[in-house]
Structure 1
Amino acid sequence: MRKLFGFLLIVIAIIAVYYDLTVGTLPTVVEEPAPPQAEATETEEEKNEEEQNEQESPRPLPDSSFNESAVEVTVEPGQTVLSIVEQLHEGPVPASIQQVSHDFSRLNNDILPEEIQIDQTYWFPTYSP
């Protein structure tokens, strides 16, 4: 009886590992297909000029009621909101993860931390100890 129980336990463990590796247990984000693009009316030069103008002009701080200071950072591959805030503080952050998430959303027009995109610029909260 012990051998049968042990065999069933091993089979269940193998099935669980297989399911986790193939299907996964974390929810996946389904990206909506991009709408069909109309013919471009702008030339490449006009687009480049617009991008340079956007990069050169500093954006005002969106929420002036925010009590702490904020820094504008361009997101690089592999970075998260928390990792960027930790880099800005050069160590542990004197705020909870929920507070950092809430402040980030307030500073960036209710963009969730999970929705940040590479090469985009966002405001990140900084906290004084």
Structure 2
Amino acid sequence: MKRLVIFISIIILLYSVYYDLSTGTLEMITPKQSVTAASETVAEVDSTPEKQEDTQIPYKVMEVKPGDTVLSMVEDLTDGTLPVTIEQVISDFETLNKKRSPHEIQIGQRYKIPLYK
């Protein structure tokens, strides 16, 4: 009897892992088609001069894809290395995005990502 309970428990565990990896348990905010279209859109430069004069921080407007963080987007723009501290990246992001926290970014939304050389 003990072996049967263990066997059934293992089957349920394996099925739940399979279901989570194949289908997922979180609801998507946007349809899968728009997420793939969003992932093809890498970045756009905001060319409005008055916006860049306000902050004096160079930036690119980028759309957040699944799995993106502010640090990963900055690293993508700087070829994988951060030339400044993480605190500076967070501060610049909050300055550019009207005090929006980097922890609150949402998939599919556009944010100003600071550029560093």
TM-score bin (small chain): 0.5 to 0.7
Pairs aligned (count): 72
The answer to whether residue 63 in structure 2 is matched with residue 66 in structure 1 is no
Structure 1: unaligned runs, 5 residues or longer: 1-56
- Larger Cα Rg: Structure 1 or Structure 2? 1
1:71-98 deviations in Å (ceiling 9; x for gaps)? 0000001000000000011121111000
Match 1:79 to one of 68, 73, 78? 68
**Structure 2: which 5+ residue stretches go unaligned?**
1-45
TM-score, normalization by structure 1: 0.50
In the alignment, the residues of structure 1 paired with residue 50 and residue 91 of structure 2 have an alpha-carbon distance, to the nearest angstrom, of 16
Task: Say which SS state the counterpart of residue 124 (structure 1) adopts.
Answer: strand
Q: Calculate the TM-score normalised by the size of structure 2.
A: 0.55
The structure-2 alpha-carbon separation of the partners of 1:64 and 1:124, relative to structure 1 and needing over 3 Å to count, comes to same
In the other structure, the counterpart of 1:96 is: 85
Identity of aligned residues (%): 40
Aligned residues: CA RMSD: 2.2
Match of 1:108 in 2: 97
Q: 1:93 is aligned with what amino acid?
A: L
The CA distance in 2 between the partners of 1:127 and 1:80, in whole Å, is: 16
Structure with bigger helix share is 2
Runs of 4+ in 1 over 4 A off after TM superposition: 57-63
